[in-house]
Each structure stands twice: as C-alpha cells, then as structure tokens.
Amino acid sequence: MKAVLSILLLAAICVGVFALGSMKKKGSDESILHVADEVGLPVEVATPKRGEIIRLVQAPGDVEAVLEVEVSSEIVAKIEEMPVEEGDSVKKGDLLCRLDDRNLQAQVESAQARIAQLKASILQAKADLEKAERDLRRQRQLNEKDATSDLEFRDCQTARDKAAAVHEMRVQELAEAAAGLKRIREDLDKTIIRAPIDGVISKLSAKQGEVVVTGTMNNPGTVIMTISDLSQMQVRARIDEVDVPLVRDGQTARVYLQADQDRPVPAQVVRVASKGTKPIGRDVVTFETLLAVRSHDARIKPGMTANVEIEVAKQDDALTVPVEAVVHRMRKELPDWLIAEFDKKQASLDLSQRAREAQYIKVVYVMKDDHAHVRLVDPGIADTRRVELKDGVAAADQVIIGPYRSLDQLADGKKVALADEKKKSDKASEKPEDQKLAENEKKTDDRSSGKKEPSDRKDETQTASAGSTP
C-alpha cells in the first residue's frame, strides 16, 4: 500500500512540474518555472602565430682561458726577485721571477774542480798504462828466448790490464762529472723563470722571499703564478644527461654572465664529453661541454660564473601556440574518433614505445560556437613560452590556453565562455530588485555611520529657517 502511495505521489509531482513549466508569466513568454541554462566554463583563448621558434638547452658553466699556464719552479730555492704583479701583461720570454742561485753556483765550481782533477788522473792513468805495455813487450821478448819465467810474463800482463782498466775508469768518471756539471748548469738556468706565453698574470700565488718546492707524487709543488691568454676565452659548461643527446659540435650558443645578464655573449659549441661525471653526494649526471667565446668583450674574465643557452633546434616559419595550451589526457577521457586517429599515427612505432606514448595523449582544445572541441596535435620544437604544432590546428582557430582550473575541467563539447565576457554578462544580468536592495543596504550603512541623505539635509534646512523667523 505504501509503495502505491509513493508512486502516486511521485506522479503527481511530475505532473505539477510539467504544468508549471507550461504556464507563462502575465504579459511575458517566460515560463513561471524557469530552469537556468548551462553556465559556460570561463576560459582564455589565443590565436596561433607564425614565426621563428628556437629550442634551447640551458646549463651552468665557468669561464676560463683557452690557453692558461701555471708557472712552477723545477728546483727548491728562495725567491730573490719578482718584478711582476697580478694583472700585468707579459710577453713570451719576459722575466717573471729570479731564484736564489748561490748554492748552485758553488756546485758548479765544485763540479769544475772535480773535472780538472779527473783530467789529471787520466794523464797519470795513461802514463801507467804506457809503462805497463813497455814492460809487457820486454817480458815477451825475454820469454821467447827463455830468459824469464812464465810467472813473470803473466804478472806483466796483469799489470798492463790493470793499468788499462784504471785509465778507462778515469775516463768514465770524467764523463760522469761533465754530465753532472751540465745538470747543475741547467738547474742554474732554472733560477731565472721567464714567461712561456703571451698573456696576463691572472693569479699570483707566491711572494718574494718565499721558498718554492718542486712537485712530488704526494705534493703538487708550489705554483708561483698563473698566466692566461685572454685573447681566447671558453666556457666549461655542465650539460644534464637528459639534454646532452641534443647538443652537437658547431651549434650556436649564448653566454650570460652573472655580472651582466642583460647582454649575452656569442659562443659556439666546440666539444662535448663522451663520458658523464657525477658530483660526490649527488645523483645528477652531467657532461662537460666546451664552448668557444666568439667575442673579445672586456667583461669576460677567467673564473666568472655563467649560464649558457645552446640552440639545438630552430624553425623559421612555425605555427606556434602558448605551451599551456597543450594538455595531456588519458585515453578514457577522449572521444573514440580521436583515439582511433591517434592509434593510426602510432602504428609505425614499436610496441614498447607505443605503450609508453599511449598512456597520455597530447591534445589542445579549440573554442568554437561557445563550445570546446578537442584536437589531436603533434608538438614540435618548444621554448619556454611557445610550442610548435605540426598539425591539428589552423591559424584562425581560437585555442584555449587557460586558466589552469578550466583546462583541467575541459572536455570535448563542453560549453565555455570567455572569462572577460562572463564577468560582463554576470554584471548585466543582475536583477533590478537586487540593485534596489543593495542601494537600501548602502543607505542603512550610511545612516548608521552618521552620513545623511539629501532629503534629511533638506528637512534640517527648513527647520532652521522656520526657527529664525521673528
């Protein structure tokens, strides 16, 4: 019984709603029961533009000279003279530093005396050798006549061989002493350090009076100064492993110095490392890339920090839209005809790549007749603001670019409205009763705050004039 009553009640409500919908207001065609139309989703649109678009790869880097030499000492000595300072320009062969050479001078004199001594020893050894040979010849003659014993003959032979060995030993000692003197003189020449290249002293690490040491396996030695050839500069950039496949030798680049980021410096990629490096404590792999600076700008100095932009792709006449216009949608959120078109384009790919590409589909929404229409697109080159669309849209289309909340809710066929027009229509659709109510509320607020209406001021004026009448 209750079920029957419920059905009858529901039917009566439907009939009443239908009847109210059929009735019109007096003097108007508007229905008494007014059902609001679908409200358009507020959107912003943009028209595709044709023009140049460049894809850039950005990376940090450090400025350095192409030719840079660290000047060190090859001997252990104290710096006696240093006629240059940091920042000075030098030419190849200019005096940079003079080391203490008194110890080496003494070694030269000692080696020269040793050589003179050995020369005298050689003369003595030569005389002993000649005497031993004469004695041996005489013993040989006597031995042939049986005038001497074999023992005496052999003793003379041994004495001759011993004298020859002493002579040869003195000759070799003289050669060794001469080589030692040559080595000492070379060390003496090293006490005068001259510029190996033309350039500027970019760093001065030692001072006059300090003792410089040579490098060993565990000690790199003393670096006296660094000379940089500022006529050729380069940037050693660190390219992320995601972007490095796009970077090649010869590509155009720009260098933005931290000291002046408004004026870029032209550059060109020279070399890309074949092996990446991973800094300690970080999981980011970067590839060292050298960029030659194509300018003799005085602002560029070794050791500066810079950011580089490398042009990895370029299109002179591309149809582009703002990057926010391209959205990703899952297959189940798109119409069947678009999915079929997408699958047809992906048929040439292998299964793994096709599965990866099919997870999300790149589309744009075009506004037409106050509705959003989805389009399948093939994005090309993109920069930080715009993206190239190879197909899917025309130059006259109105592509929906935002806001983000609306882009997230967009669907094919959904009603949309321009954000500015929607605000105007909302303001124009405000009812007169609502405006009057707002005015009354404003008057009430003005009275409560002490403000008086024009009519109140008029009454006060009339009262004042009546009180002043005699």
Residue 470: band (very low, low, confident or very high) from pLDDT cuts 50, 70, 90: very low
pLDDT of 111 > 50? The answer is: yes
Residue 283: band (very low, low, confident or very high) from pLDDT cuts 50, 70, 90: confident
pLDDT of residue 237: 95
| Mean pLDDT across 155-163 | 91
Task: Determine contact, residues 268/252, Cβ cutoff 8 Å.
Answer: yes
| Mean pLDDT across 1-6 | 65
| Mean pLDDT across 422-435 | 50
pLDDT of residue 147: 75
Task: Determine contact, residues 68/233, Cβ cutoff 8 Å.
Answer: no
What are the backbone angles phi and psi of residue 358, rounded to the nearest 5°?
Answer: -85, -5
33-42, 116-125, 204-213: range with lowest mean pLDDT = 33-42
pLDDT of residue 299: 86
Residues 6+ apart with CB under 8 A from 69: 196, 197, 199, 226, 227, 228
Per the prediction, the chain carries an average pLDDT of 82
pLDDT of residue 466: 35
Residue 284: band (very low, low, confident or very high) from pLDDT cuts 50, 70, 90: confident
Closest CA to 400 of 440, 450, 365: 365
pLDDT of residue 281: 77
pLDDT of residue 423: 53
Residue 355: band (very low, low, confident or very high) from pLDDT cuts 50, 70, 90: low
> Per residue in 46-92, pLDDT tens?
999 999 999 999 999 999 999 999 999 989 999 999 999 998 999 99
Write the CA distances from 265 to 62, 281, 310, 377, integer angstroms. Answer: 14, 33, 12, 36
Q: Which residue has the higher pLDDT, 421 or 246?
A: 246
> Per residue in 379-414, pLDDT tens?
988 888 899 998 888 989 999 998 988 888 889 999
Closest CA to 247 of 201, 299, 286, 302: 286
42-46, 243-247, 304-308, 327-331: range with lowest mean pLDDT = 327-331
HEC string for the chain? CHHHHHHHHHHHHHHHHHHHHHCECCCCCCECCCCCCCCCEEEEEECCEEEEEEEEEEEEEEEEECCEEEEECCCCEEEEECCCCCCCEECCCCEEEEECCHHHHHHHHHHHHHHHHHHHHHHHHHHHHHHHHHHHHHHHHHHHCCCCCHHHHHHHHHHHHHHHHHHHHHHHHHHHHHHHHHHHHHHHHCCEEECCCCEEEEEECCCCCCEECCCCCCCCCCEEEEEECCCCEEEEEEEECCCHHHCCCCCEEEEEECCEEEEEEEEEEEEECCCCECCCCCCCCEEEEEEEECCCCCCCCCCCEEEEEEEEEEEEEEEEEEHHHCEEECHHHCCHHHHHHHHHHHHHCCHHHHHHHCCCEEEEEEEECCEEEEEECCEEEECCCEEEECCCCCCCCCEEEECHHHHHHCCCCCEEEEHHHHHHHHHHCCCHHHHHHHHHHHHHHHHHCCCCCHHHHHHHHHHHHHHCCC
Q: At what angle do helices 102-144 and 150-189 cross, to 10 degrees?
A: 160
Closest CA to 226 of 197, 251, 254, 247: 197
pLDDT of residue 34: 52
pLDDT of 269 > 90? The answer is: yes
Report the distance separating Cα 209 and Cα 97, nearest Å.
11
Task: Determine contact, residues 40/416, Cβ cutoff 8 Å.
Answer: yes
pLDDT of residue 339: 86
Report the distance separating Cα 328 and Cα 363, nearest Å.
6
Report the distance separating Cα 193 and Cα 92, nearest Å.
11
Q: Which residue has the higher pLDDT, 1 or 130?
A: 130
pLDDT of 252 > 50? The answer is: yes
What's CA 284's distance to the chain center, in Å? 12
pLDDT of residue 467: 36
pLDDT of residue 219: 74
* Domains in the chain with CATH codes: 68-97+193-227 (2.40.50.100), 101-190 (1.10.287), 228-317 (2.40.30.170), 319-424 (2.40.420)
pLDDT of 30 > 70? The answer is: no
Q: Label residue 300 exposed, middle or buried (CB < 10 Å: 0-12, 13-18, 19+).
A: buried
Task: Determine contact, residues 295/34, Cβ cutoff 8 Å.
Answer: no
| Mean pLDDT across 165-193 | 94
Report the distance separating Cα 141 and Cα 153, nearest Å.
10
